[in-house]
Amino acid sequence: MSTNDFFKKIQTSVKEITPEAALKLVSDDTSKLFDIREDREIESGTAQGAKHIARAFLELRISQYAQPKDTIILMCASGKRSLIAAHQLQELGYRDVVSLAGGFDAWKASDLPSCQPRILASHEQSRYARHLLMPEVGLEGQLKLRDSRVLIVGAGGLGSPVALYLAAAGIGTLAMIDDDKVELSNLQRQVMYTEDDLDSAKAQASRHRLQEMNTDIDVIAIENRLNRDNVESIFEGYDVVIDGTDNFNTRYLIADACTKLKIPNIHGSVYRFEGLVSVFAPGVKPSTPCYRCLYPEPPPPELAPSCSEAGVLGVVPGVIGCLMATETVKWLLGIGVPLLGHVLSINALHMTFKKLPIEANMECRWCKSSTEKYPDYAEIQPIACAL
C-alpha cells in the first residue's frame, strides 16, 4: 500500500475539521484539543487552549486528560501525524477522535488565538529526561517542580539527603535554615559536606554544594535560629516545610507554625537504628492529624535523647531523608498517596518497615484554631542540633 493509499484509508475512518470549527468546540468546552507536536516544534507557539502531549507519548498519557467518551481533537504541524494518531486512538477505544485539517500551520494562517507554551530549555530536557518519560511527571510535572518553593529546616543528617535529591529533582527554590558550622563528627552522616567544609557555616556550605549540583535552581541560605518571633516571616511563601531537626522544642515550633499557616510539614526523625517519616497537613487536608495529635507535648529530655547523646547509624538518616524527599516530590506533583494520617516506622537493624495509622485528636487545640498563639517554647534549641 502506498503512502497516499494509506492516508486515504485513514481519512475514511477519521473525521477532519477546520481550525475555526475546532476553536468553537474548544470554546464551548465540548471537546479537548491536543497538540501532538514534539517539544522543539511548539517553542514558537501553540493553539490557545491546547494541551501538549508529544506524539511519542500520546497513547501512554491521553488517559490522564481524556476519557474514551470525550471528543478529542488532535493537532500536529500539517495534519498528517494527527490523522495517524487519531486512527490509533480509535483502535484503543476512543470513539470521538478528530484531526485538525492542516494542523497548526492552518491554525496560524487563519489568525486564530495562539499562545507561547511554557517549556523546558534543551539542557533541562536532557537533565530531567527520566522524569519526562513518566506519565505521572512529564513536562507539566517538571514545570510544577520548577515553580515550587521548599524550605528545609536543619541542614544536617536528614536535611542533607533531602536537599540533594530535591535539588537533583529540579525544585525551583530551595531554602536551607541552619545556624551551625560543619564539624568533623558531622561527616559520618551529613553527606552534604566534605572535609574542605569544616568550620564553614552549614547554610552557606549547603548552598554552594546544591548550586554546584544544579545551576538552574535558586538556593537560599538562612543563617538564623528559628524562634516563635521569626518563624512566620521565614515560612511565608513556601509550598512545603521539611523538618530535619533533632530537638523537640524546634519540632513543635515547626509543627505549630505549619498548622497555623496551612503549610504541609514533611517530618522525619531518627534514633540509633530507627527512623520515622510522616506528613502533617491538617490546614490543607482537613480531618488529618497534626504533629500534636501524635505527640501532644514534648517528652522530658531524659526520655528523648538527641543523636549527639544516643548516637545514630550514619546511613539511617540517609534512608529517612530519601523517603522525606519522596513524600515532598509526591506532594508537589499531587501524585500517589502521601503519608497523611500514617507514620512509616523503620528499623534498619532488623530491616523492617511498618506503616502505622494515626488519627486526628478532636481535642487538639492546634487543629481547631487558626489563631492559636505560639507557647513559650522552653529554651528553643538552635537548629545546629539538626542530626
CA gap 156, 307 in Å, rounded: 11
Burial of 271 by CB count in 10 Å (0-12 exposed, 13-18 middle, 19+ buried)? Answer: middle
Contact 84, 150 (CB under 8 A): no
**Grid cell in block for residue 269:** 526523625
pLDDT computed for residue 286 by the predictor = 84
- Asked if the model's pLDDT at residue 262 lies above 50, the reply is yes
Is residue 293 among the annotated active site residues? no
The pLDDT tens digits for 54-97 are: 898 899 889 888 988 899 999 999 999 999 999 999 999 998 99
Mean pLDDT confidence for 375-386 = 53
- Asked if the model's pLDDT at residue 300 lies above 80, the reply is no
Closest by CA position to 239, among listed 118, 170, 329: 329
Please tell me which residue in 76, 307, 364, 367 is annotated as part of the active site.
307
Mean pLDDT confidence for 202-215 = 97
pLDDT computed for residue 1 by the predictor = 67
Q: Where are the domains of the chain?
A: 3-119, 129-385
- Asked if the model's pLDDT at residue 383 lies above 50, the reply is no
Contacts of 33 (CB under 8 A, 6+ apart): 22, 25, 26, 47, 49, 50, 51, 73, 75, 100
The pLDDT tens digits for 94-107 are: 989 999 999 999 99
pLDDT computed for residue 384 by the predictor = 36
CA distances from 234 to 152, 227, 252 (A): 11, 10, 16
pLDDT computed for residue 214 by the predictor = 97
pLDDT computed for residue 386 by the predictor = 42
pLDDT computed for residue 381 by the predictor = 46
The pLDDT tens digits for 361-374 are: 888 888 777 667 88
Mean pLDDT confidence for 220-227 = 93
Angle between helices 315-333 and 138-147 (to 10 degrees): 110
- How sure is the predictor about 346, in pLDDT bands with cuts at 50, 70 and 90? very high
The pLDDT tens digits for 32-42 are: 999 999 888 98
No. of H helices and E strands in the chain? 16, 15
CA gap 262, 290 in Å, rounded: 11
Contact 7, 93 (CB under 8 A): no
Which of the given ranges, 123-127, 148-152, 281-285, 375-379, has the highest pLDDT on average?
148-152
Class of the CATH-defined domain 3-119: alpha beta
The pLDDT tens digits for 137-165 are: 988 899 999 999 999 999 999 999 999 99
Both ends of the chain: CA-CA distance in Å? 69
Q: What is the mean pLDDT of the chain?
A: 91
Q: Which of the following CATH numbers is that of domain 129-385: 3.30.720.200, 2.10.109.10, 3.40.50.720, 3.90.1150.10?
A: 3.40.50.720
CA gap 68, 71 in Å, rounded: 8
